[in-house]
Chain A
Amino acid sequence: MFRNIVRLQSQFGNILSPNKVCPRSPHFRFALKYSTAITERKRFYQDVSISQGEGGLYEINLDRKKLKTPGGKLFTVPNEVLAIAVATEWDAQRDTLKFYTMHLTTLCNTALDNPTQRNKEQMINAALKFLETDTVCYRVDEPHGLVELQKNEWDPVLHWIENRYNVTIGSSSSILGPEIPEATKDTFRQHLNSYNFWSLTGLEFVITQLKSVVLSMGMIDRHLSVEQAVLLSRLEEEYQIQHWGNVEWAHDYDMYELRARTAAGALFVHLSSEGSTVKRKLLQDRQG
């Protein structure tokens, strides 16, 4: 299991030497791998390709070597589309590997390794906890323009989700936020239970990025596009930017990063939760 590390070590010198001395217990090695994440590594492969392994799962090959997760497991994805997207991410790296741009790979690694050892129920509970502090439900009283903007932009999304799921989620301007009735939570719990573990990983990622369950569900249900969801999530920031001006190295930087992560999360959820079959329609004979 240290073969990979030793092989890489011979190529890069002693970058990975801290791993050499760690004890052999899997838990410690696991935590160490995740905690001493190296941010810059040279591109050590020429070609990226995908292959189908056992059980119909797809693997990524970097030159001749198979890609592995940080936890040491073989990197496998359930469908070909996700494999192609991950391969494209790896192929897009030039000179150095920038792991912070490879969002789909990171999500796959999290889903495969599950480093925080959570099960579906814990993830659903965490997601629903976010509902209580949902961005869309917190309104301000003060700058009148912002109040109007929030009403015009956020209210339609709230109405949409209330109609779609038959729930009530209010909005409030108090510091405690709205009271979410138990029935609402149960409905959402039931809905979230229908997603598999991989999709839930992606969904939780999106919720954490957008800071809103309402906006995440709106985007996953394809009611909002990624750009719209990001705009609604940053509504107050956009308002202030229009008032005080845009700072490219902060505002734009954050916005594009948020867009990239949210798009990756949404794509991950969609690709993990859908399967496609082809049903051929019989061609009907046309007469006359």
Chain B
Amino acid sequence: MATLLPPLRVCRGILKELRAMQGATYKLSPAYNYVMEQFRKNKVTGEMYCRAQQEAHHDSHTYLCLLASNRTHLALHKLYHGKGDRSREEVAGLVGLRLPTQPGGKGWEK
């Protein structure tokens, strides 16, 4: 039932995610080396139904899902839930007022 993407697409997806996470130096990271090594190792198999290959394929799919959904979740969070409260100046500006300023500070302020 597990309809997985072909391994090439999964590999490219993971590399895209790593590049998005780390920038131009993603090829130096241990994650990149490990992923490439695993994909190369499992590419050719002598068995007809190679369990190790199927497992590695599923695992790579899972990792791609982890990276992609993490990034999307973070982007959505920043977009919708990241703003926080308005500052006092902004709140006053909403109704067209400005906060009063007293040069020299208020009496009880340092």
Contacts and interface: CB of A to CB of B under 8 A. Distances in A.
Interface of A: 49-50, 80-81, 84-85, 87-88, 91-92, 98, 101, 103, 156-157, 160, 222-228, 248-249, 252-253, 256-257, 259-260, 263-264, 266-267, 270, 274, 276, 281
A226 B72 CA distance: 16
B85 interface: no
Nearest to A267: B62
Nearest to B51: A222
B61 A226 contact: yes
A222 B58 contact: yes
B31 A225 contact: no
Given A98-B74, A222-B2, A224-B1, A85 B31 contact: yes
Contacts, number: 97
A249 B62 contact: no
Interface stretch (B76-84, B88-96, B97-105): B76-84
Nearest to A157: B1
Given A222-B2, A252-B76, A259 B31 contact: no
Contact of B73 (A92, A157, A223, A257): A257
Contact of B62 (A223, A253, A270): A270
A249 B65 contact: no
A276 B30 CA distance: 19
A260 B70 contact: yes
A92 B81 contact: no
Contacts of B61: 225-226
A184 to B, nearest CB: 21
Nearest to A89: B70
A267 B29 contact: no
B109 interface: no
Contacts of A260: 65-66, 69-70, 73
B50 interface: no
Majority SS at the chain A contact face: helix
Interface string B26-69: 00011100100000000000100000101100110111011001
Given A222-B54, A249-B76, A227 B65 contact: yes
A80 B1 CA distance: 30
Interface bin, chain B? 20 to 34
A74 B62 CA distance: 28
Contact of A256 (B18, B55, B72, B81): B72
A227 B30 CA distance: 27
Given A101-B73, A225-B2, A253-B73, A84 B62 contact: no
Contacts of B30: 49-50, 84, 87-88
Nearest to B73: A256
Interface in B1-17: 1-4
Contacts of B31: 84-85, 87-88
A157 B22 CA distance: 38
A208 to B, nearest CB: 17
A49 B33 CA distance: 13
B46 A281 contact: yes
A158 B99 CA distance: 64
A266 B2 CA distance: 14
Contacts of B69: 256-257, 259-260, 263
Contacts of A98: 74
B72 to A, nearest CB: 5
Residue among A84, A98, A103, A224 having the largest count of chain B Cβ atoms under 10 Å: A84
Contacts of A157: 1
